[in-house]
Structures are given as structure tokens and as C-alpha cells.
Amino acid sequence: MSEATLPNRSAHFQARLKKRYAAEQRFKFLGLGAIIFSVCVLAVLLVSMTMNGVGGFQRAELSVPVNFREAGLTIEPQRLKDSDAIQALETAGLPMLVQTAAEQALGPDGAEQVSSDAWREVGRAIVDDPALLGSEKTFNLPATNSLASALRGEGREDLRPLAKELSDKGLLARHFDPGFLTRADATDPQMVGIWGALKGSILTMLVTLALAFPIGVLAALYLEEYAPKNRWTDIIEVSINNLAAVPSIIFGLLGLAVFLWIFPFYRSAPLIGGMTLALMTMPVIVISGRNAIKAVPPSIRDGALAIGASPVQVVFHHVLPLALPGIMTGTIIGMARALGETAPLLMIGMRAFVATPPDGFTSPATVLPVQIFLWSDEIDRGFVERTSAAIIILLLFLLVMNGLAIYLRNRFEKKW
């Protein structure tokens, strides 16, 4: 291309073109900046939770060698099989034994800083393995919360030299705490665990799923396949769409006013929590279910009708199985939202302090997000770590659920 064929551009035109291109670039970078900012906030959130939370999976432990052989704890092997084996060990003098062992290993000051419930962990080890009574074992016993914060360089000044001395000797260290996953709530951050809340969450989700999934799917089938076009159907559709957008706390008010009025005995039970969340999740399932049912081509229905199936058979033998992967995807997303929901459960009283994992749908329980909320109110630094650790677990659960939804979507995606 030679010089002559270029259009004749005036200087003014050139300048304006340059300005327009510059504006174009600015606009593009603004868009990129917006995305990068959002992703950065997400990264900061995740990194700060992880950094705080890693400590939450650990706890400060004192290593105490206990020589059962010499201490001579006398207890009948039969009693260790009973349900009250720990109480039996207590009467047999286990707390005293652990105390003495701690004094020998750590000195009187150190022994004072062994958590007062530490002997229970020794007791549980004995129940698990009675042969221990004839041998010697070094236990990592939880330190008191004061010593744990002194180890971090916080809290009481007078304990810091002791913490330093013990940790220099290798007797005090932060270890991974498997018990965090198996214990329930407590008042001491050294002794808390997540299992109580996790079990409450699982029970609540089971109730939610058992109610929301069938009702949601059946309602979607009715609206998409059978509902006549009339005012009633319109009202149903409008109320489903509205319910999907109602703030979750309103569902909490509904649960408080209606469910707790009908079942006053089941306050803060997973049953009521699950029912409340089911009402919230149901519209999500209906909406996604309708989309999945709509995606099944009419030729399938026509084919089935043509060979003599009844309308109910068409839907339950042909349409529903084909739409199920799509419905499942929507259900998992709705359940993930319900799992992270806190406000409605606060309303129906699931914020109580529950120190034992719930053993049924009707026993008092708390759920993971509420547990996070309760711990976040505690000022102790130990609880900050524990809260972040609980958040990591909650986020992992959500990640798994969303991953499953994406997998289902990709695995069963069909182009008709």
C-alpha cells in the first residue's frame, strides 16, 4: 500500500482519533480493573480466613508422660465397657493421677496450666485401649487458654516466661488438633469443636431436602405440564417468584410465628430449622426445575402419548427422568444457599449454647453458620482462629456442593 492511497487525514482528525482510541483503552482498563478488584477482594477474604484459620486447627498442648504401670490405677476391665466408663475412671482417681504426672513432668506451675478437663482425654484413650493401663504413654494434653495465649505472646504477662520456658524444653507446642472436628461447642477456645454444629447442619439439611425437593419438583411438574392457564395458576406463579426474592429473615419471622407456635416443644431443633429453610429453598427448586422440564423436547411427550401412555405416565416415565439432572443441579445450588443461611435460624432460636452434638431431629442444635456467628462474638483471640477454621470448613463444604452441581451440569448436559 503506497502513501497516496491513504485517506487524507487532517491534524485535527488525527488528534481526535488518538483521543478516541485513548478513551477506548481507558474504558477497557476500567472494566478489567473492576473485575480484578472484585477477584482481589475475594482473594483477600480467602487468604485472611486461611491465615487465621490454620491456627484454628491447632491447639497448644503440653506433653505429659503418664506411667500407668507404676501409678497403679485399679479398675475392673468390665467397667471400662460401660457407658459411664469415664465416671468410673474419675472415681478410681484418674484426675489425681494425671495431675501428679503433670507435676513430675512440668513442675507445679506447669501442672497448674494443664486444662482441668485434660484427664478426660486420657480417660477416653484408656477406654479405647485398656491395655494402656499396663504401660506408659506420653500424652499431648490441652493447656489452659491463658497459657495458650501466653504462647502466642498475648494475654497475661506473668505467664509468658513460663510458656517460653516450657516451649524451649519442647514440652509445650502447638499441634494439629483432630478433636476440633469431633467435639462440640464449649466456653474455652482450647476445648471447642465443630462436630456439634456440623451434625446440626447435616440434620437440618436432611429435613430441608426431604421437604423442599419433593414439594419443589412436584410443583414444578404441575405448573409446567398440567396447570391450566387461568388466574389460579398466575397467582401460584407470582407467589413462587416473589418467595424467591423475599429476604431470608422474613422466613425466620414466619418460622418463629407459625412453626414455633405449632410445635412449641421443639425450639431450636433441626426439625423446625429445616422446615423454615425448606420454605426458602422450595421456590429455587421450582424455578430451576421448571427450566429443566421446559428443556425436554415436546417430541418425547408426543411420542409417549402416541403409543398410548397417559399424561401421568408421560411425565413420570419420560419427562421427569430426562429433566432430573437439571433439577438436581438446581437443588444442590439451593441447598448450598440454605447451608450458608444464618438469619432465619437465629430467629427460631438456634443460637443457644449447645455443648453436645444433637442426637436427633428434635433435640436442640446449632448449625455451622450460626456457630461461626456465635464464636465471632467472643473477644478471645483463640476464638478468632477457631472462627476462621470453622469458616474454612463451611467454605469447603460449599465448594464441594457447587463442584458437584457443576459436575452434574457438565456430565448430563444435553443438546436436543
Partner 1 sequence: MSPTILLLLALGLGLAGWLAARARAYSFKREVAGGRLAALPSYHAWYVALWVLIPTVLFVAVWSFIAPQLVTSSVLASPAAANLPEFGFLRSTILNEAAAVAKGDAAGVFNDQAQALIEPYREAIGQSRMIGLIATMVIGFMGGAWAFLRIKPDFAARTRVERTVMAILLLASLVAILTTLGILVSLTFETVRFFGMVSPVDFLFGTFWGPDPMSTTTDPTRYGAIPLFWGTIFIGAIIAMIVAIPLGLMSAIYLTQYANPKWRAWLKPALEILAGVPTVVYGYFAALTVAPFVRDLAQSVGIANASSESALAAGVVMGVMIIPFVSSMADDSIAAVPQAMRDGSLAMGATTSETIKRVLVPAALPGIVAGIMLAISRAIGETMIVVMAAGAAANLTANPLEAMTTVTFQIVAMLTGEGSFDHPATLSAFALGFVLFLVTLGLNFIALRVVKRFREAYE
Enumerate residues 203-232 that contact partner 1 by CB under 8 A. 214-216, 218-219, 221-223, 226-227
- Nearer Cβ to partner 1 (159/207): 207
| Binding of partner 1 by 296 (CB under 8 A) | no
Cβ distance 196 to 207 under 8 Å? no
Q: Identify the residue among 162, 339, 365, 393 touching partner 1 (CB under 8 A).
A: 339
Min dist CB 391 to partner 1, Å, is: 5
Q: Which stretch binds partner 1 (CB under 8 A): 116-124, 158-166, 175-183, 339-347?
A: 339-347
| C-alpha cell belonging to residue 68 | 500407668
Site for partner 1 in 119-158 (CB under 8 A): none
Q: By rule CB under 8 A, what string of x and - marks binding of each residue 297-336 to partner 1? A: -------------xxx---x-------------------x
Which residues between 358 and 387 bind partner 1 (CB under 8 A)? 360-363, 369-370, 372-373, 376, 384, 387
Q: What would the grid cell of residue 218 be? A: 412436584
Q: Among the candidate windows 17-25, 74-82, 92-100, 177-185, which touches partner 1 by CB under 8 A?
A: 17-25
Q: Determine, following the binding rule CB under 8 A, whether residue 106 of this chain makes contact with partner 1.
A: no
Closest distance of CB 329 from partner 1, Å: 14
Report 256-295 residues binding partner 1 (CB under 8 A).
256-258, 262-263, 265, 279, 282-283, 286
Q: Within 13 A of 366's CA, how many CA atoms are on the CB side? A: 23
Write down the least CB distance from residue 214 to partner 1, Å.
Answer: 7
Residue 51 lies near partner 1 (rule: CB under 8 A): no
Which residue lies nearer to partner 1 by CB, 186 or 343?
343
Closest approach of partner 1 to the CB of residue 342, in Å: 4
Q: Rule CB under 8 A: which of 242-261 touch partner 1? A: 242-243, 245-251, 253-254, 256-258
Count of residues that bind partner 1 according to CB under 8 A: 89
Kindly state whether residue 28 participates in binding partner 1, applying the rule CB under 8 A.
Answer: yes
Of 20 and 169, the one with the shorter C-beta distance to partner 1 is 20
**Nearest Cα residue to 56 out of 374, 369, 382, 398:** 382
Alpha carbon 95 to chain centroid distance?
Answer: 35
By C-beta, is 66 or 336 nearer to partner 1? 336
Interacting positions 344-363 with partner 1 (CB under 8 A)? 346-347, 351, 360-363
The Cα–Cα gap between 361 and 172 comes to: 41
Minimum CB separation of residue 276 from partner 1 in Å reads 10
In this structure, the chain runs to a length of 416
Q: How far is the CB of 140 from partner 1 (least distance, A)?
A: 29
d(CA 89, CA 82): 11
Q: Which is nearer to partner 1, 47 or 125 (CB)?
A: 47
Among 16, 20, 69, 294, binds partner 1 (CB under 8 A): 20
